[in-house]
Structure 1
Amino acid sequence: MPMLVAQSSDVSSDLGIYLPLVVMFALAAAFAVFSALLGPLVGPSRYNRAKFQAYECGIEPSPQPVVGGGRVPVAYYLTAMLFILFDIEMVFLYPFAVSADVLGLFGLVEIFLFIATVGFAYAYVWRRGGLDWN
């Protein structure tokens, strides 16, 4: 019976090391909620007709579609999404770079496989014309 009590105390002491992480997440969530709720209360509230109109990259909005199928070309959005996609994939290289000496040959092979995968995706997007501005 005392063995069960010892095991439960070990589990509670092991979970105690996560307390700073839980506190950090709680503070981050509280700050996000506080900022979202405080903004409209403190910020200026001078509304006019111009603030409620659509604004797209400095182009005057018009009720008729412009030649080419819309007010803003889809290429802008696709380019932004591709940038975000490849940028986030490159962020995954940082953990490999930090622990490259610990990972050894396995890490080197994994880095080459990851870069090859990103390279194939880049070549696919390039061949499909996703990087052309025409």
Structure 2
Amino acid sequence: MEDYLLQYGVLVVYALLAIAVPIGMLLISYLATFIKIRPSKPNEVKLSAYESGLPPFGPKPVMFNFRYYYYAILFVVFDVETVLIFPWAVKYGVLSKQFGLIAMFAMFVFLFIVTVPFIYAWRKGDLEWIYNRN
């Protein structure tokens, strides 16, 4: 039981530090402003949006091609697939001795589950940059 707590205790300490350090920095900054160590003189120029050194002109553009999201989602899916396949490929020799064809079958099932939606998106035309609605 102590080994278990020791192993995960490090993660708990890491998580607490990951939360405490940014909060501590924000509190120090706030206290430095509050006790007048750091001056705070906001004005219109400091509060305006920065746009390449020029004053902003006009409203922000709202045009955004939604097609980027398809590519981003597909990239994430296949990036995760690669991350999951690589360790399996490295250890396949050990796995095949221990589990036989079950290890190969499990990877084929995984590849099937990932490939079917890719083929669906491809046939639907979601991977085409110029979308023809005929």
**Runs of 5+ unmatched residues, structure 2:** 31-41, 52-56
Name the SS for the 1:73 alignment partner: coil
- Which one of the candidate residues 81, 86, 99 is aligned to 2:91? 99
Distance apart, 1:77 and its partner CA? 2.0
Distance apart, 1:117 and its partner CA? 1.9
Residue 31 to residue 78, structure 1, CA distance change in 2 (3 Å): farther
Q: Partner residue of 2:50?
A: 51
Aligned letter for 2:65?
A: P
- 1:112 and 2:112 matched: no
Partners of 1:61 and 1:71 within 8 A in 2: no
Distance apart, 1:27 and its partner CA? 3.2
Distance apart, 1:62 and its partner CA? 6.0
Q: CA RMSD in A?
A: 3.6
Partners of 1:79 and 1:131 within 8 A in 2: yes
Q: Partner residue of 2:14?
A: 24
Alignment map for 1:65-76 (pairs within 5 Å): 71-76=63-68
Task: Provide the rounded CA distance (Å) in 1 between the counterparts of 2:107 and 2:22.
Answer: 35
Distance apart, 1:79 and its partner CA? 1.8
Task: Provide the rounded CA distance (Å) in 2 between the counterparts of 1:114 and 1:33.
Answer: 41
TM-score, length basis structure 2: 0.57
**Alignment length (residue pairs):** 108
Distance apart, 1:20 and its partner CA? 2.4
Distance apart, 1:33 and its partner CA? 4.6
Name the SS for the 1:47 alignment partner: helix
Distance apart, 1:32 and its partner CA? 5.4
- 1:87 and 2:79 matched: yes
Q: Percent identity?
A: 34
Name the SS for the 2:50 alignment partner: helix
Q: Partner residue of 2:129?
A: 133
Residue 74 to residue 26, structure 1, CA distance change in 2 (3 Å): same
After the TM superposition, which segments of 4 or more aligned residues of structure 1 sit over 2 Å from their partners?
A: 11-35, 45-52, 60-63, 97-103
Task: Provide the rounded CA distance (Å) in 2 between the counterparts of 1:32 and 1:102.
Answer: 44
Distance apart, 1:88 and its partner CA? 2.0
Residue 25 to residue 73, structure 1, CA distance change in 2 (3 Å): same
Distance apart, 1:119 and its partner CA? 1.6
TM-score, length basis structure 1: 0.57
